[in-house]
Structure 1
Amino acid sequence: MDLIRKMENVSVLGAAGKMGSGILVLLSFEMAKLKIGRKENKEFVLHAIDISQSALGDLLSYLKTQLLKHAEKNIVELRTWYQERADLIDNEEIINQFKEDVMAMVKTSTRIETAYDSQLIFEAIKEDKKLKVNLLSKIKQNNPDAWFLTNTSSIPIGEIEKEAGLSGNIIGYHFYNPPVVQKLLELVVTEHTSKDLSAFALELAKSMRKTLVQSRDVAGFIGNGHFMRDALYALNQAEKLAKTEGWAKAFFMIDTISRDLLIRPMGIFQLLDYVGIDVTHFILESMQPSFPKEKLSHFVLNQLFDKDVKGGQFADGSQKNGIFKYQKGRIAEVYNLKKDKYIPISSIEMDCAVVLGALPTFKLYWKSVVRDATKSDLLQKFFNELHQLDSLGANLAIAYGKNAKAIGKMLVDTNVAASEADVNMVLETGFFHAYGPINDYF
């Protein structure tokens, strides 16, 4: 596969978005390897395409920051790239030259026509099949030989392929957020995806040093197939608790359980805020037609969406208000759905602790256990004690863990995932869980 030829002219759709910006950065690194590192005598160009010119300006600032970080981290390698440049002596000169050389390859545009000359189209717009089909079909009509790599996290690739008339020239290339940091890449091929495109996708993922997991082309794939159902389960549990404790306490308790008693990096509702309640809403809507026997929605998400409580991040990366309100990155207040207002966590924390009851005396925290070589033993000790308790908190956590395991097994039984190991890999790598949902702890 001629990776070099395909990488000469590349476009990223939705380049100024949360995912598109990260994908653009990764592709700029790959072009730098070819143009500067391997001295390929080609005119490489990377088109950043988005609807907002001001957002594209912010994107360029973000790209410069990431290039500087990358250069500082890889300065030894960069010195070999620029060893023939006698005018570049100290590290700062090399880093600045690297930044300038890469930025020279990046061109911004608000016009879809810019992509008509690209060999590769990376699509990272919002989860809207109609919009994706509209844009990709326009490009296909004017650029019949282009290859499309879509970052969709939920829409079946085969449906986009068929409706946009892409004839095997599309592949699911689902990066995890943030793409520059996350190692996981979910690969989704259709029954028509060309062998050359598949080979290219594998070669590029290897060059990017990504951990590749292949999913069957089923709405939601492995990652959101698990996460969305996990979140709906949590909302159902919160709904039950809210009948006696109220919504603020219910949100807080289920979030606490999913974080502290399942040893996860974030509670489930904090994760929903991070992903975006609006994004979650769109993903579930896109998945629902593929699973008519399942109810992939919840009135809480609909109400929050209608009230413009959407979560997500600001341009600087700080967290927007969602189910929780944040101060300096920490949860400070929780949304009371019934009264349509936030209340301080401090006003309900003690009451929630009383309701949850006895918790394991052997304390275990995600941050300390996730990279511990003995984590299996530590987790087993923690969960053994959890199973011995008969408190509301322990019972809710055990039921939650069993449900997460059942979702994982369902993904394997329905061949969405090839193996239990693949499910666990996605949750451990893509969601940073300390252990996979299919385990012996529950």
Structure 2
Amino acid sequence: MSQAVLEPDAASSRGMDLLRFATAGSVDDGKSTLIGRLLFDTKTIFEDQLEAVESASASRGDEYTNLALLTDGLRAEREQGITIDVAYRYFATPRRKFIIADTPGHIQYTRNMVTGASTADLALILVDARKGLVEQSRRHAFLTSLLRVPHLVLCVNKMDLVDWSQEVFDRIADEFTSFAAKLDAPDLSIIPISALNGDNIASRSENTPWYEGPSLLHHLEHVHIASDRNLVDVRFPVQYVIRPQSTTVTDYRGYAGQVASGILKPGDDVMVLPSGLTSTISSIETADGPVAEAFPPMSVTVRLADEIDISRGDMICRPHNAPTPAQDVEAMICWMDESAPLRVGGKYSIKHTTRSARAVVRGLQYRLDVNTLHRDEAAGELKLNEIGRVKLRTTVPLLADEYRRNRTTGGFILIDESTNRTVGAGMIIEAR
């Protein structure tokens, strides 16, 4: 079995928080090299992987170890016709664990980026210092804003090829900052790097004495994500009702699911939707035993003091802080189906948290050009990778919040009933 260059201590990594971040960039901006560099500098690649990359680099005639080759297996798979929507990479430092969603950057893969960034805490956008901001850079920034990714990092790569020019960096930073001001980007950091040489990746570089910020890895380790979670609005979609079929346990009834937002504690007064019945939490249990509280994204089993008729798709919340059951929904939708466009009158299955229903498209208000932010109000359909504002009517009420307030209860997917394929991803703007 291969030995890692330096294996992270599994025991010490337990209990560390997890940062999910998505990477995006145009072709040849150095995204593969950056990911390879992060894996290399955090000592989370295997010795035989490193030897294979060194050998492949030599056979290609490269005068350096081409760390981009660490992810080239993905390209080979694509050449064989295997579709990979989003590639996930994992690494850890003594301070934090990370999941990288390596998303394709081209416009034809907008749906892939939406998929990868939808659960991200941070988005990392690469630009080539020689080219500056391009159309794709703006599109990536807009999509991360649309998906409410709380933290955004712009990495100005290949600074070594512009002689570490502060003027070039400042020009790109100023241009991106002014564009981001039009978006909802609450936390923006801009870092000059050379992924190929490792400058400002794991440690500060001597080549940028004019840059006073942290290295990329230091920023990823220390960016504060705890306050990004919605801990105010208690939302617990019930996924499964646990009733053990045992002669020794006759009165156990638990409701299993993942906490979407808020904090649950034994003794809390709660309400169950859509019935509106109220009760009190008697206990909260995990696979490791009872806990004193539950918060997102913990998966737990909640037990109530009263026997209430609860089933999958119901939601446990606070009596005076509950989502309004809604059948009329307005949402931004990214269309993901290449075989048929979204049109007014189209009927689909809708999956919202643990609740399923049917939905009909009542209206298409506009199609949004993600490059110019222009709204085409005359649009009659949404094709593959296009984004627009849509009105839906559902057969049963959704227990929804606005996406800007709650990414879990504010998001949904549309499914083609005949093929069972996911054809759209939506972000709720208004539910009534």
Superposition TM-score tier, normalisation by shorter sequence: under 0.3
Could you state the TM-score of these two structures normalised by the residue count of structure 1? 0.27
Bigger helix share: 1
Q: Calculate the TM-score normalised by the size of structure 2.
A: 0.28
Q: Report which of the two has the higher share of strand.
A: 2
